[in-house]
Amino acid sequence: MRLRARVPITRGMSEPAPAKRLYIKTYGCQMNVYDSERMADVLAPLGYGVTDDPTGADLVVLNTCHIREKATEKVYSELGQLKRLKQEKPGGMTIAVAGCVAQAEGEEIMRRQPAVDLVVGPQAYHQLPELIARAHRARGERLSADFAPDEKFDALPAVRNPAGVSAFLTVQEGCDKFCTFCVVPYTRGGEWSRPAEAIEAEARALAEKGVREVTLLGQNVNAYQGVGGLAGLVRRLATIPGLDRIRYTTSHPRDMDDALIAAHGEVEALMPYLHLPVQAGSDKVLKAMNRAHTAESYLRLIERIRAARPDIAISGDFIVGFPGERDADFEATLQLVREVGYASAFSFKYSRRPGTPAAAMMGQVAPEVADERLRRLQALLDEQQQAFNAAQAGRTLPVLFEKTGRHAGQLVGKSPYLQAVHVTAPDRLLGRIVPVTIERGAKNSLAGILELEAA
């Protein structure tokens, strides 16, 4: 992920802060994207400005993901390359590992790669300035895996410098669901919700800086515990002037309550898109995953959501090759996908994570079998996504223009259904929500033309 370079912050009246270069590489989910931005906010008063090139950076932060083995292994190979850059950098380079791998295997990282100066978990990155100072003095604790999300949020700077018109906003962290495949309850801790006042203040400040869309983040965002639950929070944020679009992710089917479903039918700012992972379509597998829902209960839930908001785009996550998954179980997943009709989806091959209950289960699936199932599932999901996008042709959709496109004179925006839309349009429409007539939909994006009044 690339963060846009920021204007260096000046300290005091006369003394400009030294220009130090900070390179952050982000892996994994949107919460890590949010955390990376906040780490840059924490480091800005120390004189660090963000760069998009690690060569010559004074401080490199890898914000890591532990969800699957592949994501974890990437960190170690990246560190090998950084070690060489560090050796070539006169004046030195500080290397920090943050995020979920830092939380899960901090000691091991320091042992395996001595070029790492410090390690900081996802609930402790407000301590970065102190950890950096200690690492530079080459003494004291260089690892913090503290679990104090409230302290972290209290310590983060109130001012954010949003990189665009759409911003992430963490409202909830952690997970108490303990799906048997998942490391998140161990890396991010138990479910914890931020106070609604703090969230509203952050959202208002973002809107004042031109943000038009916020995506509320949480590992179980619909388990948000503030007064009125997530529905109450959405209604509260919908009153903020300028904040025209609200989204939230990721949700658990178990926490999709009536109030939230009703909000989808009633709150105009709440976008018609819902990421609601089901993981599998076989009840036997769902039970072994400890998902606390069946295929049938998920389908009924989707029906109720669609009754409230008929055009809602449904997205999901899937795992194939979970221990004990037989051909018939996998067929049940395909059947569920056919019944739901997904607008988009993410599907993964089961990855055995040390310490999780599923890692010790009988019936681990052969990699070739899992590969083949993944290929078939992705082909079906791709077909559905393509069909959903193609079905927009001829409709006029409100598009929030977020950035310039690859071609001159082109802008890229988002439809209410989270589709990227390419349109020939003047730059002055950046940050505005404008009606666009969709001409065609491809697998990953739509193409449209401006309605006459906007052009």
Instruction: Locate 81 and state its tokens.
Output: 């390359």
Long-range own/partner contacts, residues 204-207 (CB < 8 A, 24 or more apart) = 204/240, 205/158, 205/159, 205/160, 206/160, 206/162, 206/167, 206/169, 206/243, 207/240, 207/241, 207/242, 207/243
Q: How far is the CB of 365 from ligand 5AD (least distance, A)?
A: 12
Nearer to ligand SF4, 30 or 294 (CB): 30
- Does residue 330 touch ligand 5AD according to CB under 6 A? no
Q: How far is the CB of 182 from ligand 5AD (least distance, A)?
A: 4
Nearer to ligand 5AD, 26 or 351 (CB): 351
- Does residue 27 touch ligand 5AD according to CB under 6 A? no
Tell me if 201 sits within 8 A of 371, measured CB to CB: no
Query: Of the ranges 45-53, 126-134, 346-354, 386-394, which one interacts with ligand 5AD (CB under 6 A)?
Result: 346-354
Instruction: Tell me which of 125, 153, 224, 348 binds ligand 5AD, using CB under 6 A.
Output: 348
β-pair type (20-26, 48-50): parallel
Residues making contact with ligand SF4 (CB under 6 A): 28-29, 31-32, 65-67, 99-100, 183-184, 187-188, 219
Partner from ligand 5AD, ligand SF4, none binding residue 279, C-beta < 5-8 Å depending on class: ligand 5AD
Partner from ligand 5AD, ligand SF4, none binding residue 348, C-beta < 5-8 Å depending on class: ligand 5AD
- Does residue 353 touch ligand 5AD according to CB under 6 A? yes
Provide the residue count of the chain: 455
**Measured distance CA(349)–CA(376) in Å, rounded:** 12
Instruction: Locate 79 and state its tokens.
Output: 């560190």
Nearer to ligand SF4, 93 or 183 (CB): 183
DSSP conformational letter for 321: S
Nearer to ligand 5AD, 170 or 351 (CB): 351
Partner from ligand 5AD, ligand SF4, none binding residue 187, C-beta < 5-8 Å depending on class: ligand SF4
Tell me if 188 sits within 8 A of 147, measured CB to CB: no
- Does residue 351 touch ligand 5AD according to CB under 6 A? yes
Query: Of the ranges 81-89, 343-351, 395-403, 442-450, which one interacts with ligand 5AD (CB under 6 A)?
Result: 343-351
Q: How far is the CB of 188 from ligand SF4 (least distance, A)?
A: 5
Instruction: Locate 256 and state its tokens.
Output: 């999709």
**Measured distance CA(401)–CA(180) in Å, rounded:** 40
**Measured distance CA(241)–CA(143) in Å, rounded:** 42
Give the contacts of 294 (CB within 8 A, at least 6 positions apart).
283, 286
- Does residue 277 touch ligand 5AD according to CB under 6 A? yes
Q: How far is the CB of 137 from ligand 5AD (least distance, A)?
A: 38
User: Which x/- pattern over 367-406 shows residues binding ligand 5AD (rule: CB under 6 A)?
Assistant: ----------------------------------------
Closest residue by Cα to residue 233 from 209, 210, 257:
257
Q: Is 18 exposed, middle or buried (0-12, 13-18, 19+ CB in 10 A)?
A: exposed
Nearer to ligand 5AD, 59 or 314 (CB): 314
Partner from ligand SF4, ligand 5AD, none binding residue 353, C-beta < 5-8 Å depending on class: ligand 5AD
- Does residue 350 touch ligand 5AD according to CB under 6 A? yes
Closest residue by Cα to residue 364 from 356, 130, 297:
356
**Measured distance CA(34)–CA(382) in Å, rounded:** 28
> Residue for token digits 């604790």?
141
- Does residue 182 touch ligand 5AD according to CB under 6 A? yes
Partner from ligand 5AD, ligand SF4, none binding residue 188, C-beta < 5-8 Å depending on class: ligand SF4
Closest residue by Cα to residue 46 from 17, 14, 68:
17
Partner from ligand 5AD, ligand SF4, none binding residue 66, C-beta < 5-8 Å depending on class: ligand SF4
Q: Provide the binding-site residues for ligand 5AD, judged by CB under 6 A.
A: 67-68, 181-182, 277, 279, 317, 319, 348, 350-351, 353
